Amino acid sequence: MSTPILIALAVLVAATAWFASRLRGDVHPTQRRLLKLALALAATTIAWIVLPRLAGMADFEVLKSSAGALSRFIGSLWWIVFAVFAFIVLERFVWTSFANRGVQVPKLLIDVVRAIVFVFMLLGVISALFEETITGLLAASGVFAVVMGFALQSTLADLFSGIAINLQHPYRVGDWIEIDGATVGQVVEMNWRATQLRSPQGNSIVMPNSKMAAAQIVNFNLPTPRHRSAIELKLDARVPPGVARDVLERAALKATAVLRDPPPSVRVTGFEYTQVSYELCFWLDGYADIDVVRHDVSNSVWYALDVLGLGSWCDEPGDAATTSRAGRLVGYVDLFRDFDDSLRQRIAGVMKVRLLRPGDVIMREGELTSSVYIVELGAVEVSMNMGEHGPRVVARLGTGDFFGEMSLLTGEPRSATLTAMCETKIWELDRESIEPILRSEPAIADRLSRVMAKRRLANTMLLKNLTAQERQDAEQSWPDDMLGKIRRLFSLPH
């Protein structure tokens, strides 16, 4: 009996004994399958050894050749059973035990090992059928290998490039990458032939490994997921660049995903006759939501320029950059937008300005105060205590936004803590000043209650899961419920 068969037999006996010793009580289906395979392997091994001897002992030629053919058939079967056995052991014990220890085995290695087992099985089957040794087959297949090599040239290039990529790790599963400055996507799988990406539009992109190895790759996750993005815009040349920089940098901070550190920055990129071009740069943690964040920043910039009257679509943006802002702000924020001039002047007259430094706390959750504030320039962070999860940032507010309406309208303690994120200018309207205005202009109560209902709902959804129906009901009924309460509290006409 040849040495490999003896070794295989010894392994089989040991494996069968081990499985048999563990087959008490409930047996795992994989173990049961493995035991059956081990028994099949033992049976085919014995048949494979015994049949040629029987053939040798047979007196009749017919018996001899039948026993020989059967032996070749059993030999091929042995290799197939052995390969299936090896596949299951690898899947169930080797790769799983690595995974349980937190070691992520590259998919490419798994694929290559599978391919090796498969090739050995094929060689084994051929060697058993044609009664050749495997080494003899390998030597005889030299010409075949050359032909195959040419035929599989690109496949082999992909395989070796895949091995190089797995050793070098220019990217890993989960990373966002850009290929040759054109294709952007998140790596979802790396196998022996290709790297599979998912584009931001949700499509699947398959790039052969040989192309990946030759391409210029920008990895947005390396060295850290933190990276810089920018938007370009043009402003009226009458707006001084210093004013533009103050507004744009602060406006960018309002987008929740924009990092405070490193802070947003603005540079002038060109002059034209009536316009100046700017680039607004900001930092993000992760690439996944880049389009959403760029939209949020652009939205916040547009709103800030509109409220401050600095957009090129506004009247006299040059004047807006230099005049005092209280009256202008009252005229432009949504809350008071379509009120007549005398009412705006009245509101502007009772507002008090407050200048804040980064980190200044404007109000604390639970406090019993009741002023309302409007942000002229800057960014303010809203955070709430989430019980065992501690404080959590729920929103950021910027130019034109107001806050503090909940305590004013309900008399309840402050629902959140508000902190300035950068140098910020806000205007305060205290309860005594706003109450008479609320009574004379019930439209203000209506607008305040709508915003309050929306914010309340956002906070409630952070604290507990609402069904789609509950959410829809709340969206429909809360604004009116709140308006009703406010009307009763302030004795406003219906």
Binding footprint of ligand CMP on the chain (CB under 6 A): 363, 382, 394-395, 403-407, 414-416, 418, 455, 458-459
In the complex, the smallest distance separating the C-beta of residue 373 from ligand CMP, rounded to whole angstroms, is: 8
Q: By C-beta, is 158 or 405 nearer to ligand CMP?
A: 405
Which contacts of 385-392 are long-range, i.e. CB under 8 A and separated by 24 or more positions?
A: 386/462, 386/463, 391/417, 392/462
- Provide the 3-class DSSP secondary structure of residue 417: strand
In the complex, the smallest distance separating the C-beta of residue 317 from ligand CMP, rounded to whole angstroms, is: 28
**Residue 299 CB neighbour total at 10 angstroms:** 13
Q: H or E stretch including 158?
A: helix 153-168
Rounded distance, CA 195 to CA 394, Å?
38
> What is the DSSP code (8-state) at residue 80?
H
Q: By C-beta, is 211 or 456 nearer to ligand CMP?
A: 456
Q: By C-beta, is 193 or 414 nearer to ligand CMP?
A: 414
Q: By C-beta, is 22 or 352 nearer to ligand CMP?
A: 352
In the complex, the smallest distance separating the C-beta of residue 91 from ligand CMP, rounded to whole angstroms, is: 49
For the chain, how many residues are written? 494
Structure tokens at 69: 């053919």
Q: By C-beta, is 234 or 454 nearer to ligand CMP?
A: 454
- Provide the 3-class DSSP secondary structure of residue 174: coil
Angle at 408 between CA 406 and CA 414, to 5 degrees: 55
In the complex, the smallest distance separating the C-beta of residue 118 from ligand CMP, rounded to whole angstroms, is: 58
In the complex, the smallest distance separating the C-beta of residue 417 from ligand CMP, rounded to whole angstroms, is: 8
Rounded distance, CA 150 to CA 153, Å?
5
Q: By C-beta, is 403 or 427 nearer to ligand CMP?
A: 403
In the complex, the smallest distance separating the C-beta of residue 302 from ligand CMP, rounded to whole angstroms, is: 19
Residue 223, preceding peptide bond in cis (omega within 30° of 0): yes
For strands 204-208 and 194-198, give the pairing. antiparallel
In the complex, the smallest distance separating the C-beta of residue 488 from ligand CMP, rounded to whole angstroms, is: 19
**Residue 454 CB neighbour total at 10 angstroms:** 14
Q: Is the dihedral of CA 256, 262, 263, 265 positive or negative?
A: negative
In the complex, the smallest distance separating the C-beta of residue 395 from ligand CMP, rounded to whole angstroms, is: 3
- 277, β-bridge pairs: 234, 270
Q: By C-beta, is 95 or 490 nearer to ligand CMP?
A: 490
Q: By C-beta, is 38 or 330 nearer to ligand CMP?
A: 330
